[in-house]
Amino acid sequence: MFKKNSTLKIVVVSGGLGGLSKTEALVSTIAEEISKHTAVDIHLVKFSEIGMLVGQALYRNELPKLVQNCLQAIENADALIIGTPVYRASFSGIFKLTNSEFSVKPV
């Protein structure tokens, strides 16, 4: 449980595979607004940076350190802010694959 006077660990996930996108701007803005009201530690995970690395490994321990660090941050977060563009009525396959790689605390 989050303690009122402690720093909230938020991981912002931008699921777009392109560079700076409207999706990334949106999730970053949401995190910035939260930071105006409470102490936060924000970690940004950009699929534009890690997306292609995710598909290069069969097992989690084979993933590059950058991807492993991102997954660890997601697992240890108090809150996630996730945004992804819609691609053919769903989100990207790389985003789906990565979601299956981490366990998330129930909300």
Q: What is the pLDDT of residue 43?
A: 95
Q: What is the pLDDT of residues 24-68, one digit of tens each?
A: 899 999 999 999 999 999 999 998 888 888 778 888 888 899 999
In this predicted structure, the answer to whether residue 105 has a pLDDT above a threshold of 60 is no
Residue 73 confidence class, pLDDT cut points 50, 70, 90: very high
CA distances 16 to 3, 5, 10, 19, 31, Å, are: 32, 33, 19, 8, 17
CA 29 to chain CA mean position, Å: 14
pTM of the model: 0.77
- How much is the pLDDT for 107? 44
The residue among 103 and 13 whose pLDDT is bigger is 13
